[in-house]
């Protein structure tokens, strides 16, 4: 493709609302243009990267016998009511009525539609298994869209759904999709991790995320230094770096003491000389989902630990992680303001993080403002509803499988697989007649890749101060020719010939044939980020060479014009085309 008809327009300035490098670079490179918050037009270059990624995704699905179809973007209300997600999804699901007054929503995910599609044809066990997928545009009405394609409203997804006879078969499908996703992200040639993950409001009981590593990633991952263990911090079991031994100290008498102005664990530790890890903090959460009653609970952790609300959610079987009580609500429940609260005398369930279990004679708030209690002991001074792992794991913790310790990474979630069991099939009566003539619910799994999100995540991982650095796998073009000296007929002819020769050999070439200064062309080439840049100019030609510049390393190789094709082909072969 030539610049002269490609409608590529780069910008010098980043847009004011772009916070992370990949968003800035995509806008500056003309890759995307915002139509409304969270809604973007994909320019010609972005679309080429997207299509290349889609091709990899399709190939890996097709070769595993997974069949592509295409579902609608507009869904009828009735279908979403069958699973109660019409209500549960809240305002993220964009709902509207059409001219005839029928309720519809824009598809944010397609469990309901695919389950309906399948249940209408599945009669008996002989009609299963089947795994279906689509690549399609979805819409989620994010309150505050940000980070460009990373948290947009309109986005391109690949979503697959498996339908099996038994739980065992469904878990085999899950394993197949796991391997399919590993193959896809390996082919991309980017750094990624597969981590255990929470199932969120999709439901189900087994789930992995595929995370592209990047400094600005929204997710924190904990990965074992030795074994295979890797998890999103949301679900990572916590194991102290050094196990805290059972404490057999004598229980001392509880004492109330004055702690004016000491509101934080750090203050309290400083004032009392007790290390934070031996202080106990009390946090309050509302576990009600709807209704007026907050159903408050208290959670006790060591002062040095952070609470993990996803663990509370899973412990209590809630739909969403519980929210902290406000200061005022805490005051109503505990009789004191936060900073002076503790478990003694509370009339609500008290959950103990396992890290507190072996502590003795510890300090907690007294539920009287500016007072604490020392020598407090669970069991004696207050009753515990349950002991559980409720803290956030952290770098340096032991890996839960006992192999090595945990190292922390930041990642961008680009793929997510779920074993759903019969959650949707039961709700929607998607059954099959078993061998013995009994109706059984279909066993399901669902599997998603954020196509547009992945493309930006790759940039977030692969860029420098000058611009994007595309991996060969999805680079919009492999080669970017900067044709200098446009008034020099010899240069023009050679550039055209090389352009044609490369294209004829299956290399994707972008040629900058604009009437612009070399500096501008080089800057744009760096910004747009194709893996190889060819500089074809009069000066080089006089010396009998063309410059081949590696975008990532900036290494320059001088190549004779008649060697350019073989040089480029060899480089691409080595670099993962």
How many residues line the site for a second copy (CB under 8 A)?
58
- Exactly one of 14, 33, 395, 440 binds a second copy (CB under 8 A); which one? 33
- Exactly one of 27, 49, 57, 79 binds a second copy (CB under 8 A); which one? 79
Cβ distance to a second copy smaller for residue 97 or 403: 97
- Exactly one of 20, 106, 352, 376 binds a second copy (CB under 8 A); which one? 106
Contacts of residue 257, defined as CB under 8 A and 6 or more positions apart, other chains included, come to 371, 372, 373, 374
Residues 133-152 binding a second copy (CB under 8 A) are: 137, 139, 141, 143
6 sits near a second copy (criterion: CB under 8 A): yes
Least distance in angstroms from the C-beta of 447 to a second copy: 16
Q: Which two structure tokens, joined as six digits, stand for 55?
A: 């091709």
**C-alpha distances out from residue 544 to 235, 485, 540, Å:** 60, 16, 6
The answer to whether 431 and 425 have CB atoms below 8 angstroms apart is yes
Residues 212-241 binding a second copy (CB under 8 A) are: none
Query: For a second copy, which stretch binds (CB under 8 A), given 34-42, 210-218, 240-248, 348-356?
Result: 34-42
User: What does 349-372 look like in DSSP terms, one character per residue?
Assistant: -EEEEHHHHT--SEEEE-SSTTEE
Least distance in angstroms from the C-beta of 147 to a second copy: 17
262 sits near a second copy (criterion: CB under 8 A): no
Q: CA 272, CA 261: separation in Å to the nearest integer?
A: 13
56 sits near a second copy (criterion: CB under 8 A): no
Least distance in angstroms from the C-beta of 491 to a second copy: 21
The answer to whether 541 and 502 have CB atoms below 8 angstroms apart is no
Q: CA 552, CA 574: separation in Å to the nearest integer?
A: 14
- Exactly one of 14, 54, 73, 218 binds a second copy (CB under 8 A); which one? 73
55 sits near a second copy (criterion: CB under 8 A): no
94 sits near a second copy (criterion: CB under 8 A): yes
Q: CA 449, CA 56: separation in Å to the nearest integer?
A: 12
15 sits near a second copy (criterion: CB under 8 A): no
Cβ distance to a second copy smaller for residue 47 or 182: 47
Least distance in angstroms from the C-beta of 179 to a second copy: 17
Reduce the DSSP state of residue 424 to 3 states and report it: helix
- Exactly one of 14, 17, 71, 272 binds a second copy (CB under 8 A); which one? 71
50 sits near a second copy (criterion: CB under 8 A): yes
Residues 368-427 binding a second copy (CB under 8 A) are: none
Chain centroid, CA 568 distance in Å: 35
The answer to whether 258 and 370 have CB atoms below 8 angstroms apart is yes
- Exactly one of 12, 99, 438, 542 binds a second copy (CB under 8 A); which one? 99
Least distance in angstroms from the C-beta of 7 to a second copy: 5
487 sits near a second copy (criterion: CB under 8 A): no
39 sits near a second copy (criterion: CB under 8 A): yes
Reduce the DSSP state of residue 522 to 3 states and report it: helix
Q: Which of 496, 562, 575, 485 is nearest to 532 (CA)?
A: 575
Tallying the residues shown for the chain, one arrives at 577
Least distance in angstroms from the C-beta of 294 to a second copy: 25
Contacts of residue 229, defined as CB under 8 A and 6 or more positions apart, other chains included, come to 223, 399, 400, 401, 403, 404, 406
Q: CA 420, CA 431: separation in Å to the nearest integer?
A: 15
Chain centroid, CA 480 distance in Å: 31
72 sits near a second copy (criterion: CB under 8 A): yes
480 sits near a second copy (criterion: CB under 8 A): no
**C-alpha distances out from residue 117 to 290, 428, 566, Å:** 32, 11, 50
- Exactly one of 52, 153, 372, 378 binds a second copy (CB under 8 A); which one? 153
- Exactly one of 55, 67, 558, 576 binds a second copy (CB under 8 A); which one? 67
- Exactly one of 1, 169, 176, 286 binds a second copy (CB under 8 A); which one? 1
- Can the peptide bond before residue 129 be classed as cis, meaning omega within 30 degrees of 0? yes
The answer to whether 384 and 420 have CB atoms below 8 angstroms apart is no
Label residues 469-491 b or e (16+ Cβ within 10 Å = b).
bbbbbbbbbbbbbbbbbeebeeb
Query: For a second copy, which stretch binds (CB under 8 A), given 119-127, 215-223, 324-332, 335-343?
Result: 119-127
Question: Which residues of the shown chain bind a second copy in the complex (CB under 8 A)?
Answer: 1-2, 5-7, 9, 30, 33, 35-36, 39-44, 47, 50, 65, 67-76, 79, 91-92, 94, 96-100, 102, 104, 106, 113, 116-118, 120-121, 127, 129-132, 137, 139, 141, 143, 153-154
């Amino acid at each position: 493709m030539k610049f002269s008809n490609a409608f590529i327009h780069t910008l010098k300035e980043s847009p004011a609302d772009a916070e992370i490098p990949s968003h800035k670079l995509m806008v500056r490179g003309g890759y995307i243009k915002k139509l409304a918050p969270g809604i973007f037009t994909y320019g010609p270059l972005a679309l080429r990267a997207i299509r290349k990624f889609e091709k990899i995704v399709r190939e890996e699905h097709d070769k595993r016998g997974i069949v592509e179809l295409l579902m609608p973007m507009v869904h009828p209300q009735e279908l979403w009511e069958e699973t109660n997600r019409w209500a549960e999804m809240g305002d993220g699901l964009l709902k509207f009525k059409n001219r005839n007054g029928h309720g519809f929503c824009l598809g944010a995910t397609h469990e309901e539609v695919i389950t309906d599609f399948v249940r209408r044809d599945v009669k008996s066990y002989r009609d299963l298994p089947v795994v279906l997928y689509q690549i399609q545009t979805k819409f989620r009405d994010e309150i505050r869209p940000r980070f460009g394609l990373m948290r947009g409203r309109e986005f391109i997804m690949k979503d697959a759904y498996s339908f099996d006879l038994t739980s065992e078969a469904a878990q085999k499908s899950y394993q197949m999709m796991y391997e399919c996703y590993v193959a896809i992200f390996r082919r991309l040639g980017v750094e990624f991790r597969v981590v255990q993950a929470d199932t969120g409001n999709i439901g189900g009981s087994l789930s992995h995320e595929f995370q592209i590593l990047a400094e600005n990633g929204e997710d924190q991952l904990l990965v074992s230094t030795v074994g295979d263990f890797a998890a999103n911090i949301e679900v990572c079991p916590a194991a102290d770096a050094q196990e805290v031994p059972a404490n057999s100290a004598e229980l001392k008498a509880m004492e109330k003491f004055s702690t004016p102005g000491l509101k934080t664990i750090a203050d309290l530790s400083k004032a009392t000389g007790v290390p934070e890890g031996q202080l106990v903090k009390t946090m309050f959460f509302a576990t009600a989902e709807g209704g007026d009653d907050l159903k408050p609970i208290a959670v006790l952790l060591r002062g040095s630990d952070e609470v993990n609300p996803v663990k509370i959610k899973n412990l209590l079987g809630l739909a969403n992680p519980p929210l902290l009580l406000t200061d005022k609500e805490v005051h109503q429940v505990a009789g004191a303001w936060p900073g002076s609260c503790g478990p003694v005398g509370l009339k609500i369930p008290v959950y103990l993080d396992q890290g507190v279990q072996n502590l003795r004679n510890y300090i907690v708030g007294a539920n009287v403002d500016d007072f604490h209690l020392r020598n407090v002991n669970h069991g004696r001074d207050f009753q515990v509803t349950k002991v559980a792992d409720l803290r956030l794991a952290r770098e340096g913790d032991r890996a839960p499988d006992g192999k090595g310790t945990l190292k922390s990474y930041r990642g961008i979630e680009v793929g997510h697989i779920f074993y759903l069991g019969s959650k949707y099939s039961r709700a929607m009566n998607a059954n099959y007649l078993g061998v013995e003539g009994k109706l059984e619910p279909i066993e399901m799994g669902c599997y998603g890749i954020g196509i547009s999100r992945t493309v930006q995540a790759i940039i977030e991982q692969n860029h420098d101060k000058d611009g994007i650095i595309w991996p060969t796998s999805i680079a919009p073009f492999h080669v970017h020719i900067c044709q200098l000296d446009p008034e020099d007929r010899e240069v023009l002819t050679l550039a055209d010939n090389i352009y044609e020769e490369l294209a004829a050999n299956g290399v994707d070439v972008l040629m900058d044939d604009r009437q612009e200064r070399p500096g501008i062309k080089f800057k744009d080439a760096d910004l747009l980020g194709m893996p190889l840049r060819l500089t074809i100019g009069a000066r080089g030609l006089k010396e009998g060479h063309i410059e081949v510049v590696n975008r990532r390393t900036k290494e320059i190789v001088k190549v004779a014009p008649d060697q350019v094709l073989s040089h480029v082909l060899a480089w691409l072969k080595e670099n993962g085309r």
